[in-house]
Amino acid sequence: MTEKGVLIKMSVRAETPVQYTLNLNDHPVLMNNLIGQTIQIRFSGYQCLSCGATRKIFRQGYCYDCFYKQPDVGEWVIRPELSKAHLGLEDRDLAYEKEAQLQPHVVYLAESGGAKVGVTRKSQIPTRWIDQGASRAVAIVETPNRYLAGITEVALKKHISDKTNWRRMLKNEQSGMDLMEIRKRLLDFVPEEARPYILSDTLRETHIDYPVTTWPSRVVSLNLSKTPEYSGTLSGIRGQYLMFTDHTVFNIRSNEGTVIELTWPG
């Protein structure tokens, strides 16, 4: 079968293992069913996720103009500490920012190729953890807005990474770190304003299993602008990465806005 459509991140269901669906042109493809099968990905252009223009994608699925206009990719998204909706101050669209920022947020600790801290809306748990390919995660604080979560993350990342080591994550290299122990140690560094929101230490870690048959010993990232046509046998999925038996990995998330033709048997 062949389906053509613009890439957006796979939707996930938190089952054991995680269930991944790629929606191509509103045609849902349950990717778990394709593991062990040979599939083909063919580059077929670009389509901005906002204006639909077929111009090259600049970042996060948007063309250059849309990236600097769309409210959902303001700088506060990547840097939550810059959130200002709690002060009634607009970045690009105050109504949008109030909705997105003035809701419960969680600062968490996750193992994804090493221990890291991160911030997410509470409603995005465990989706956010799955999208990052975390094998384990635990919440640290739950704040009423994005700003407080942001300043907490800034304080904690002086003591621990805030980046996912995607190569280690895809090779399933586990640090074996004791997240609860690290969590306890980090609590000392939670800023004063966020301390009332520290969650009870009776919290348990969430464990996440991915549909992977064999883990690669090395990984090579597929770049469709250099390799416009790729065929390989899917060996698993973790985070937003498709993994193939020849060590190729393809990050759906970082290819949002790319139009592809996907071909699979059956």
Closest to Zn ion by CB, 65 or 81: 65
- Nearest approach in angstroms of CB 44 to Zn ion is 18
Among 12, 39, 57, 66, binds Zn ion (CB under 5 A): 66
Return the range that interacts with Zn ion (CB under 5 A); candidates 8-16, 49-57, 168-176, 255-263. Answer: 49-57
List Cβ neighbours of 78 (8 Å cut-off, separation of 6 or more).
none
Q: Which residues contact 250 (CB under 8 A, 6 or more apart)?
A: 41, 221, 222, 230, 241, 242, 244
CB of 54 to Zn ion, least distance (A): 10
Q: Count the residues of the shown chain that bind Zn ion, applying the rule CB under 5 A.
A: 6
Nearest alpha carbon to residue 245 among 30, 35, 17, 8: 35
Q: How far is the CB of 53 from Zn ion (least distance, A)?
A: 5
Among 51, 82, 102, 180, binds Zn ion (CB under 5 A): 51
Nearer to Zn ion, 38 or 50 (CB): 50
Nearest distance, CB of residue 67 and Zn ion, angstroms:
8
Please state, in angstroms and rounded to a whole number, the distance separating the CA atoms of residues 253 and 237: 13
Binder of Zn ion out of 48, 148, 212, 260 (CB under 5 A): 48
Q: Indicate whether 60 belongs to the interface with Zn ion (CB under 5 A).
A: no
CB of 55 to Zn ion, least distance (A): 7
Compare residues 61 and 150 and give the one whose CB is closer to Zn ion: 61
Residues that bind Zn ion (CB under 5 A): 48, 50-51, 53, 63, 66
